[in-house]
Amino acid sequence: MISWRKHYKRGLIAIGLLLSTSASIYAQGDAKNGEKLFKANCTACHALDKQVVGPALGGVVDRLKKEQNLDTDWLHKWIKDNKAFRASGDKYANEVFEKFNKTEMLQFPNLTDQDINDILEYTTNPPAPEPAAADATATGTDANSIAAIEAAKKDSVNSKIILISLLAIGGLLLWMLFKLRQLVKLQQSDELTGLNSSRAYSFADLYRKYSYIGKGILGLLAIFAAYGIWNWMMWIGVYKGYKPEQPIYFSHKIHAGENKIDCQLCHSSAKYGKVSEIPSMNVCMNCHRMISEYKGKYIEPGKDRDFYTGEIQKIYAATGWDPAKQQYTGKTQPVEWTRIHNMPDFVYFNHSQHVVAGEQAIITSFNKKNPESKIDVVCKACHGKIDTMNVVQMANDFTMGWCIECHRTTEVDMTNGYNKEYFKNLHDKLKKQYGSGTKVTVAAIGGLECGKCHY
């Protein structure tokens, strides 16, 4: 009875909590949408409570009203296209640009007036931070490391299965050899002591008689060798999990995760070229000329803010920037990042082929295969959830088998401009041959041809 009562009370509390949170969600409808838009578009450069690249935006509507006597109309114009607005000669627009050392803010012509109102509502009345969120991220990382351990376990189980089957095949071969020898011995003793000793012993006869065993052994050996070579080609160079120490402790979790900085802001060449380079120190300085100390909320266990601030100072040492005098001294020290992903020279891998032409196909297929951990950014299909990693590590095998597995199973996006033109004939032909529901995988457009990936 007592325990029933306890449950009953808990139930009431839970229902109460549910009601109160849903009520608050309802009341802050606009701010919620504003928060989403703010996080997607603005957090690379702005926070509510502190200056990042641009000024703190918490209460910006009231502040500009009080200090500059500007209304939300000004804010709409500024946010939509600050460049044009400055060019129009607006006084404060030019002042604030000068004040921030002429750092360019992006333009947002795609945001509607309603969107901007939602964002401003969010900066005025941000929903209270939910303490549960912090816990969720903590367990999130735990879940990640558990997943990594599980994956490692699975890998070792897989290799155990391979080992056992190899042993079994080896055992079978030995047994057959033994049997053959026995048969030969039997035959010899029969023939030498037997009645037909007049007939010369002929190995050719023997072979003819027992040739199926010999052929069987040769066949098995061939399968065995082919299997070995295939495995060697598919699995050579597995570096999954490789994460070397870097000269600056650069955290993707802090940049891409906490501060939502877009991958391509730093790895801009992924879109256009074969390689997706590590950003140069000048890219870091775009932001770190302003951000010289770490004031973020997130701190990795075992680290502290002083540690992060010390790492930021290394950027200044590398570029020869004197933050006190705000000028370059001319003394630079190159930073040598250790390459983590590195295909052998005989492999041709092109980022833009995957990041531009293949983007939608890869995201759709990944999300279909992993409904419980969907991705929004194409990079994550191959590199894993980089925005949760403090230290980058290889998230996949990056072997030939891995490339081919995806090419076999990923349907090409025939609607994007590039493929529509390029594969029109092929697509029409396939449709005629197999009907209009035909799936066209990367394999079907030649993604398994040796020459596509090998020079």
Scan residues 343-372 and list those touching ligand HEC (CB under 6 A).
343-344, 347, 349, 351, 353-355, 357-358, 361-362
- Closest contact distance (angstroms) between CB of 166 and ligand HEC is 19
* Alpha-carbon span 434 to 432, nearest angstrom: 6
Q: How far is the CB of 227 from ligand HEC (least distance, A)?
A: 15
Does 311 engage in binding with ligand HEC (CB under 6 A)?
Answer: yes
Residue among 104 and 190 whose Cβ is closer to ligand HEC = 104
Residue 386 CB, nearest distance to ligand HEC (Å)? Answer: 4
Q: Which is nearer to ligand HEC, 103 or 137 (CB)?
A: 103
Please, which residue, 304 or 322, has the CB nearer to ligand HEC? 304
Identify the residue among 80, 90, 97, 427 touching ligand HEC (CB under 6 A): 97
In the region spanning residues 42 to 71, those forming contacts with ligand HEC, defined by CB under 6 A, are: 42, 44-46, 52-55, 57, 60
Q: How far apart are CA 301 and CA 390, in angstroms?
A: 11
In angstroms, rounded to a whole number, what is the distance separating the alpha carbons of residues 184 and 202?
Answer: 12
Beta-bridge mates of residue 327? 322
Over the window 258 to 277, marking each residue x when it contacts ligand HEC by CB under 6 A and - when it does not, the resulting string is -x-x-xxxxx--x----xx-
For residues 423 and 412, give the distance between their C-alpha atoms in angstroms, rounded to a whole number.
10
Contact 430, 438 (CB under 8 A): yes
- Residue 335 CA to residue 321 CA, distance in Å, equals 14
Q: Is 108 in the site for ligand HEC (CB under 6 A)?
A: yes
Single residue of 80, 126, 284, 440 touching ligand HEC by CB under 6 A: 284
Question: Which one, 126 or 447, has the nearer CB to ligand HEC?
Answer: 447
Residues 6 or more apart whose Cβ sits within 8 Å of residue 80: 107, 108, 109, 111, 116
For residue 267, the surrounding DSSP H or E stretch is none
Q: How far apart are CA 280 and CA 22, in angstroms?
A: 46
Q: Could you say which of 85, 122, 250, 321 contacts ligand HEC (CB under 6 A)? A: 250
Cβ distance to ligand HEC smaller for residue 187 or 309: 309
* Segment (H or E) for 327: strand 327-328
Interface with ligand HEC includes 319 (CB under 6 A)?
A: no
Go through the chain and tell me how many residues it has. 455
Task: Tell me the angle at which helices 305-319 and 281-288 cross, rounded to the nearest 10 degrees.
Answer: 120
Shortest CB 147 distance to ligand HEC, Å: 18
- Residue 367, classified by CB atoms within 10 Å of its CB into exposed (0-12), middle (13-18) or buried (19+), is middle
Helix (H) or strand (E) holding 321: strand 321-322
Measured from the CB atom, the residue of 28 and 315 that comes closer to ligand HEC is 315
Which position among 35, 78, 427, 444 is part of the footprint of ligand HEC (CB under 6 A)? 78
- Which of 96, 363, 440, 444: binder of ligand HEC (CB under 6 A)? 96
Q: Which of residues 433-452 bind ligand HEC (CB under 6 A)?
A: 442, 445-450, 452
State which of residues 206, 217, 404, 426 lies at the interface with ligand HEC (CB under 6 A).
404
Q: Decide: helix, strand or coil at residue 371.
A: coil
Q: Considering beta carbons, is residue 148 or 184 the nearer one to ligand HEC?
A: 148
Out of 118, 252, 319, 440, the only residue in the binding site for ligand HEC (CB under 6 A) is: 252
Three-state DSSP state, 46 = coil
In the bound complex, what is the minimum distance in angstroms from residue 427's beta carbon to ligand HEC? 12
Q: Which is nearer to ligand HEC, 48 or 183 (CB)?
A: 48
| The one-letter amino acid at 451 | G
Query: Measured between alpha carbons, how far is 361 from 363 in angstroms, rounded to an integer?
Result: 6
Q: Segment contacting ligand HEC (CB under 6 A): 15-23, 150-158, 161-169, 411-419?
A: 411-419
By CB under 6 A, tell whether 454 contacts ligand HEC. yes
88, 159, 342, 370: which one binds ligand HEC (CB under 6 A)? 342
Q: Which helix (H) or strand (E) holds 154?
A: helix 131-193
Q: Is residue 289 within 8 Å of 281, Cβ to Cβ?
A: no
Q: Kindly determine how many residues on this chain lie close enough to bind ligand HEC according to the rule CB under 6 A.
A: 108
Residues 442, 372: Cα–Cα separation, whole Å: 24
Which residue has 């050899």 as its token pair? 177
Rule CB under 6 A: say whether 406 interacts with ligand HEC: yes
Contacting residues for 179 by C-beta, under 8 A, at least 6 apart = 213
Identity at 154, one-letter amino acid code:
K
Restricting to residues 3-42, name those near ligand HEC by CB under 6 A.
Answer: 41-42
